[in-house]
Structure 1
Amino acid sequence: MAETHAVAVWAFDGMAPFELGVVVEVFGLARPELGDLPWYELKVCAEEPGRDLRAVGGFSIRAGHGLDDLAAADTVIVPGVADAGGDVPAALVEALLRAHARGARLVSICSGAFALAATGLLDGRRATTHWRYARALAERHPQIDVDPDVLYVDNGDVLTSAGSAAGIDLCLYLVRTDHGAAVANTVARRFVVSPHREGGQAQFIEAAVRPAGEDDDGVARSMQWALERLHTPLSVPLLAGAACMSERSYLRHFARRNGVSPMRWVIAQRIAASLPLLESGEGSIDEVAAAVGFDSTGTYRHHFTRQMRTTPTAYRKAFTRPPLVREPGTAGGPDAAGGRRELAGAGGILMNTGVHATRPAGPAR
């Protein structure tokens, strides 16, 4: 039998459905666009499988799997907890430790970092969470090096991400790690999101939503212009010219929009463009560097190592291994009962669309 890679996600009473939906979308959805490439086996797990769990929005979720399935998975994902200041269920902590002891990869989204912190596995390590809860995490767990600026942190066996949307970034990163950039890009394209974001959380702390004006349109046009010319020399004057803006105004508007300088963004895009070239195994490192616009291989290696935390050569070797393989799984859960309107979903969940008399509190975010 082919080796499988099981992904388990924690579900609980009072959860908001977005983060669970992200995990189901990435790991539980059928991928006909990938041809014969085997995909993951997703299981939605709860402390009491088969019991209705209230979700924000007036519907319920019934997980088809329990904590034993979570502890047996290869990747375990914990979405935002219900209360960042409350206690993490002891049963969840024990299941996470069992999974880790088996060699599982533990992942948190948003305030799910508090659950991973409760296991002690983040002690002495760098981690992140939503910027609103970074200080609380650091105060409650002073042995953790909390970084409030990044979108996610990879410690190998334990990974943490920032707010809810950063869960998309981290899930795509997991796909990229397991299957390579080309597959991750395909998943991102279907998701209609960028396969790799740059700039961290800092750009969202003060004002996450700004009206799109003429200046922003100019910046967007310059970014698209640059993406079509990554292999050519690029500079702030050229980018500002493409935006029809002065250099000073362009630098201000670009940083406000993206949270980074224009040239730092260009470097990140060039690194991202180099990943599928490295994975293809075609061309030398020198040729890859030149193809994406770096003026020297040394400069490429420097920026690649700084951004990817590995060398181009090591990255190429890592992604020449065979992708993960699994047998096709079966989605669904218990049959509907009692005349209620229930919809089967991926990962072994049932969703009840009935309205509840009381609205549960959403998870901390």
Structure 2
Amino acid sequence: MFDIRIWSTEGALASAITTPIDILVAANLLNARRQIGSKPVFSWSIESVDGAPIRTASRQIMAVDGKISARGSCAAVYVASPFLETWPGRPGDRATLVDALQRAHRNGALVATHCTGAFLFAEAGLLRHRRATTHWARARELALAFPDIRLSIRDVVTEDGGVICGGAVTSYSNVMLTIIARLAGEELAADVARYLLIDRNRGPQTAYAKKELEQAARSNDAFVLQASNWIKANYWRPFKLADLALSLGVSERTFNRRFTLATGMSPIKFIQAIRIESAKRLLEEGQNSAQDVSTRVGYEDLATFRELFKRETGMTLKAYQSQFATAAAPQP
């Protein structure tokens, strides 16, 4: 039997704790059907830093089985990420988690998390020079804070050196399926995914991501606000950066430098991000052809836009429209 420790802190989504347990319940059920009379393949326990019940993000009180500790052996540790901007609790709680994670990994357990749990894993040194993912909205922050991580934001789940990371919030389902696959085999994991209707091939996370355009809108620099507002109003038509810079009374070089410093992205990247977000909305309407979308966001050359869209989102225009359109796509 494989023992799974589920560690959590205040502020986790209740589903981030209960859904992984439900997946383990299903794994035991399906394994018993395949091997009549067999014992459960998984056991689990919920643990908190101080052994006290956990108050979830929805303010539900969740009972726990004990206090977090890396003493004793287990097959895997799964950390339910809090649904908060910052990790809750006292600094000592975080230090306890870091120490326990390091010990568990050294003892040979798989260690897994999802979403912003990657920040805790990075602090514990578990992601150094390893491939990892996190929530798409926090990826830039993670990369800046821990530049030695091989961040692969397109991936819903990554695994490297016994460390498993999931992307945005509900990737906890895929994380738990990965744990099942590594401990009990790919066949059982596939059976559980089919039984519970969990998509193991969810496509790249970047298809769901909204580009980080808000930083420009929040800038206190009147120059940057003027530039970003002009771009948002005119992204759909051809223009040159040199002309925009001239209208702002600066050189193109100065414009590039000031805009990049304030927003964290170059003007070209900002324009591309605006155009891609606009294209997503048009594709989601379901009635626009690829050429129409390309033209309406400022690209006469469809081939160029196809390449850009796939590079930035990880999906083709057709695949994105098929997955996210709210109305039937146009017939060819």
| Interval containing the TM-score (normalised by the shorter chain) | 0.5 to 0.7
The 8 Å contact of residues 152 and 159 in structure 1, kept in 2 or not, is answered as yes
Counterpart mapping for 1:133-282 below 5 A = 133-194=138-199, 196-206=200-210, 252-258=317-323
**1:288 paired residue number:** none
Higher relative contact order (CA 8 A, sep 6+): 1
Once the 2 structures are TM-superposed, how far is the Cα of residue 254 of structure 1 from its aligned partner? 2.2
Mapped pair 1:27 → 2:27:
no
Q: Matches of 2:80 and 2:180 in 1, distance apart?
A: 17
Once the 2 structures are TM-superposed, how far is the Cα of residue 175 of structure 1 from its aligned partner? 1.8
Q: Matches of 1:164 and 1:68 in 2, distance apart?
A: 25
Q: Matches of 1:163 and 1:19 in 2, distance apart?
A: 11
Aligned-residue identity in percent: 22
Once the 2 structures are TM-superposed, how far is the Cα of residue 179 of structure 1 from its aligned partner? 2.8
**2:62 paired residue number:** 61
Q: Matches of 2:2 and 2:136 in 1, distance apart?
A: 31
The 8 Å contact of residues 16 and 172 in structure 2, kept in 1 or not, is answered as yes
For 2:17, what is the secondary structure of its paired residue?
helix
Q: Matches of 2:177 and 2:133 in 1, distance apart?
A: 17
**1:43 paired residue number:** 45
Which deviations, in whole Å up to 9, do the C-alpha atoms of 1:183-225 show, x marking residues without a partner? 122211231222x21521011113899868689xxxxxxxxxx
**2:3 paired residue number:** 6
The 8 Å contact of residues 80 and 113 in structure 2, kept in 1 or not, is answered as yes
Once the 2 structures are TM-superposed, how far is the Cα of residue 76 of structure 1 from its aligned partner? 0.6
**2:266 paired residue number:** none
Q: Which runs of 5+ in 1 are unaligned?
A: 216-250, 260-365
For 2:127, what is the secondary structure of its paired residue?
coil
For 2:191, what is the secondary structure of its paired residue?
helix
**1:111 paired residue number:** 116
Which deviations, in whole Å up to 9, do the C-alpha atoms of 1:100-125 show, x marking residues without a partner? 11111111111111111111121111
- Give the structure-1-normalised TM-score: 0.54
In structure 1, give the amino acid aligned to 2:41: W
**2:218 paired residue number:** none
The 8 Å contact of residues 13 and 53 in structure 1, kept in 2 or not, is answered as yes
The 8 Å contact of residues 47 and 92 in structure 1, kept in 2 or not, is answered as yes
Which deviations, in whole Å up to 9, do the C-alpha atoms of 1:76-130 show, x marking residues without a partner? 1112235554567101111111111111111111111111111112111121101
Given the superposition, is the C-alpha separation of residues 30 and 252 from structure 1 closer, same or farther in structure 2, using an over 3 Å criterion?
A: closer
**1:340 paired residue number:** none
For 1:7, what is the secondary structure of its paired residue?
strand
Given the superposition, is the C-alpha separation of residues 159 and 71 from structure 1 closer, same or farther in structure 2, using an over 3 Å criterion?
A: farther
The 8 Å contact of residues 7 and 47 in structure 2, kept in 1 or not, is answered as yes
For 1:45, what is the secondary structure of its paired residue?
strand
In structure 2, give the amino acid aligned to 1:253: K
Cα RMSD over matched residues?
Answer: 2.9
**1:282 paired residue number:** none
Counterpart mapping for 1:289-328 below 5 A = none
Q: Matches of 1:82 and 1:166 in 2, distance apart?
A: 13
For 1:68, what is the secondary structure of its paired residue?
coil
Structure with more helix by fraction: 2
The 8 Å contact of residues 152 and 166 in structure 1, kept in 2 or not, is answered as yes
Counterpart mapping for 1:86-97 below 5 A = 86=87, 89-97=94-102
Q: Matches of 1:7 and 1:163 in 2, distance apart?
A: 22
For 1:121, what is the secondary structure of its paired residue?
coil
Q: Matches of 1:136 and 1:57 in 2, distance apart?
A: 26
Q: Which runs of 5+ in 2 are unaligned?
A: 211-276, 289-315, 325-332
| Segment of structure 1 superposing worse, 143-152 or 81-90 | 81-90
Which deviations, in whole Å up to 9, do the C-alpha atoms of 1:305-345 show, x marking residues without a partner? xxxxxxxxxxxxxxxxxxxxxxxxxxxxxxxxxxxxxxxxx
The 8 Å contact of residues 18 and 164 in structure 1, kept in 2 or not, is answered as no
In structure 2, give the amino acid aligned to 1:123: R
Once the 2 structures are TM-superposed, how far is the Cα of residue 71 of structure 1 from its aligned partner? 6.4
The number of aligned residues is 220
Once the 2 structures are TM-superposed, how far is the Cα of residue 153 of structure 1 from its aligned partner? 1.0
Given the superposition, is the C-alpha separation of residues 82 and 205 from structure 1 closer, same or farther in structure 2, using an over 3 Å criterion?
A: closer
| Segment of structure 1 superposing worse, 145-154 or 185-194 | 185-194
Given the superposition, is the C-alpha separation of residues 97 and 67 from structure 1 closer, same or farther in structure 2, using an over 3 Å criterion?
A: same
- Give the structure-2-normalised TM-score: 0.59
Q: Matches of 1:151 and 1:28 in 2, distance apart?
A: 23
